[in-house]
């Protein structure tokens, strides 16, 4: 590896004016220079594909999720960013996963269904159904790709996806995934130190997608759905991942929305982002300011999130 490449990477990692000369940060984890040397050697190992590389790194460094499983998806994202920063060249992908490519929908949904102009109380059999089958996944992906302003992107890390159904059929989609790494206003609201945040971050779940189909015109429906999912998600998450989250978060794009439905569902506004993206990338200052909204899932959320066993 060229010396100038490493120095360029180091210069990108600055925190509160102090340059980190012995670590680099990717996907919420600090890597020492020794660890980066080991990763470079693993990547160079003949015969290893990208999945095998990420699994080997997670096992070696014990990079694990709260349920004890390998954090291989975060590792793969980190490897792509390391490659972008010229640490190494990854082997070619064995299969395409759609990253960076336009999602190709499968035409399972009709465009322009008849409008539903009813108050939320008039819509019966409202349910939030976890996406489990391939068909459900295709429907969720297509809805989000065609009608959500952010489009379809594969959710990273622990996640749950819901289809919003009723007696009028499918009304929309919800997606939940891993929480943002570093959000100053959220940390101040909780009373987090960096050390405790690293231990407890998995207990916060991010509402990364919320879509009602454009022909659904129902007053109070969005806030009603948010109230329903706040009651349902903790049990669903615990059943899948063997731990129970204590707070939800979301980020509302300030230029587009005011967060009215979240406020109506008793979500709490805690501040604004600095536009650095979900992982706190300091090279992306002030790109897209968002409102930070949180929803505690239990009364003792602060004491749970603040407690450190160390």
The alpha carbon dihedral of 104, 110, 112, 118 has a sign of: negative
Q: pTM here? A: 0.76
Cα 60 from Cα 95, distance rounded (Å): 25
pLDDT of 274 higher than 50: yes
Segment (H or E) for 78: helix 72-84
Does 133 share its domain with 260? yes
pLDDT at 134: 94
pLDDT band at 14 (very low <50, low <70, confident <90, very high): very low
pLDDT at 198: 86
Mean pLDDT score, 38-64 = 90
Does 128 share its domain with 193? yes
Does 167 share its domain with 211? yes
What is residue 178's three-state secondary structure?
A: strand
Domain boundary at 69, 84, 99, which? 84
pLDDT band at 310 (very low <50, low <70, confident <90, very high): low
pLDDT of 111 higher than 80: no
Does 166 share its domain with 25? no
Which tens digit of pLDDT belongs to each residue from 194-243?
A: 889 988 999 999 999 999 999 999 999 999 999 999 999 999 999 999 99
User: Is 90 part of any domain?
Assistant: no
Where is pLDDT greater, at 268 or 69? 268
Q: Read off the DSSP letter of residue 64.
A: B
Segment (H or E) for 211: strand 204-212
Which tens digit of pLDDT belongs to each residue from 249-269?
A: 999 999 999 999 999 999 999
Is residue 164 classed exposed, middle or buried when 0-12, 13-18 and 19+ CB atoms within 10 A define those classes? buried
pLDDT band at 146 (very low <50, low <70, confident <90, very high): very high
User: Is 244 part of any domain?
Assistant: yes
Mean pLDDT score, 165-178 = 96
Cα 76 from Cα 52, distance rounded (Å): 10
Mean pLDDT score, 176-195 = 93
User: Is 126 part of any domain?
Assistant: yes
pLDDT of 118 higher than 90: yes
Does 131 share its domain with 197? yes
Of the candidates 165, 178, 96, 109, the one whose C-alpha atom is nearest the C-alpha of residue 141 is: 109
Does 139 share its domain with 288? yes
Of the candidates 135, 68, 65, the one whose C-alpha atom is nearest the C-alpha of residue 106 is: 135
Does 79 share its domain with 137? no
User: Is 245 part of any domain?
Assistant: yes
Cα 147 from Cα 47, distance rounded (Å): 41
pLDDT at 95: 62
Query: How many domains would you assign to the chain?
Result: 2
pLDDT of 271 higher than 80: yes
CATH number of the domain enclosing 193: 3.40.630.30
pLDDT of 126 higher than 80: yes
Cα 183 from Cα 282, distance rounded (Å): 12
Q: Is residue 168 within 8 Å of 127, Cβ to Cβ? A: no
Q: In the predicted model, what is the mean pLDDT of the chain?
A: 85
Cα 59 from Cα 295, distance rounded (Å): 34
Where is pLDDT greater, at 246 or 114? 246
Q: Is residue 121 within 8 Å of 157, Cβ to Cβ? A: no
Does 286 share its domain with 182? yes
Domain boundary at 84, 106, 140, which? 84
- From residue 125, alpha-carbon distances to 120, 130, 168, 239 in Å are 11, 15, 9, 24
Mean pLDDT score, 140-159 = 91
Mean pLDDT score, 98-110 = 56
Domain housing 233: 120-306
Does 213 share its domain with 280? yes
User: Is 65 part of any domain?
Assistant: yes
User: Is 21 part of any domain?
Assistant: yes
Give one DSSP letter per residue of 6-28, joined into a string: HHHHHHT-EETTEE-SSEEEETT
Mean pLDDT score, 159-183 = 95
Going by C-beta distance under 8 Å and a sequence separation of 6 or more, which residues neighbour residue 310? Answer: 195, 199
Alpha-carbon radius of gyration of the chain: 21
pLDDT at 287: 62
Does 130 share its domain with 70? no
Cα 24 from Cα 12, distance rounded (Å): 9
206's torsion region: left (phi>0), alpha (psi -120 to 50) or beta? beta
Cα 77 from Cα 178, distance rounded (Å): 13
Mean pLDDT score, 83-101 = 75
pLDDT at 21: 55
User: Is 42 part of any domain?
Assistant: yes
Does 146 share its domain with 232? yes
How far does the chain reach from its first CA to its final CA, in angstroms? Answer: 38
Domain boundary at 34, 57, 84, which? 84
pLDDT of 171 higher than 90: yes
Does 269 share its domain with 184? yes
pLDDT at 25: 85
Where is pLDDT greater, at 15 or 94? 94
User: Is 105 part of any domain?
Assistant: no
Of the candidates 154, 18, 157, 1, the one whose C-alpha atom is nearest the C-alpha of residue 85 is: 1
Q: Read off the DSSP letter of residue 283.
A: T
Of the candidates 206, 122, 221, the one whose C-alpha atom is nearest the C-alpha of residue 172 is: 221
pLDDT at 108: 63
Where is pLDDT greater, at 109 or 260? 260
């Amino acid at each position: 590896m060229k010396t100038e490449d490493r120095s360029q990477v180091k210069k990108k990692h600055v925190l509160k004016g102090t340059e980190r000369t012995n670590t680099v940060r990717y996907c919420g984890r600090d890597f020492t220079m020794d660890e980066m040397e080991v990763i470079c050697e693993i990547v160079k190992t003949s015969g290893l594909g990208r999945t095998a590389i990420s699994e080997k790194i997670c096992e070696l460094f014990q990079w694990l999720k709260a349920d004890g499983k390998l954090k291989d998806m975060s590792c793969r994202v980190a490897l792509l960013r390391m490659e972008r920063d010229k640490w190494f060249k990854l082997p070619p992908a064995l299969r395409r996963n759609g990253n960076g490519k336009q999602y190709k929908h499968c035409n399972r949904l009709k465009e322009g269904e008849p409008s539903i102009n009813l108050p939320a109380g008039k819509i019966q059999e409202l349910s939030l159904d976890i996406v489990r089958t391939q068909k459900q996944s295709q429907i969720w992906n297509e809805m989000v790709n065609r009608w959500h302003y952010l489009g379809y992107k594969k959710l990273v890390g622990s996640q749950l996806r819901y289809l919003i159904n009723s007696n009028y059929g499918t009304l929309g989609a919800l997606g939940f995934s891993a929480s943002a790494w570093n959000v100053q206003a959220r940390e101040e609201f909780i009373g987090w130190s960096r050390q405790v945040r690293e231990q407890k971050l998995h207990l916060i779940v991010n509402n990364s997608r919320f879509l009602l189909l454009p022909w659904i015109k129902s007053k109070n429906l969005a806030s009603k759905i948010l109230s329903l999912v706040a009651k349902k998600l903790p049990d669903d998450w615990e059943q899948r991942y063997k731990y129970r989250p204590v707070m939800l978060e979301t980020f509302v794009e300030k230029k587009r929305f005011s967060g009215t439905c979240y406020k109506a569902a008793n979500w709490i506004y805690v501040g604004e982002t600095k536009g650095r993206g979900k992982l706190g990338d300091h090279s992306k200052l002030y790109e897209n300011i968002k409102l930070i909204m949180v929803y505690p899932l239990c009364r003792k959320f602060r004491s749970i999130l603040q407690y450190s066993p160390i």
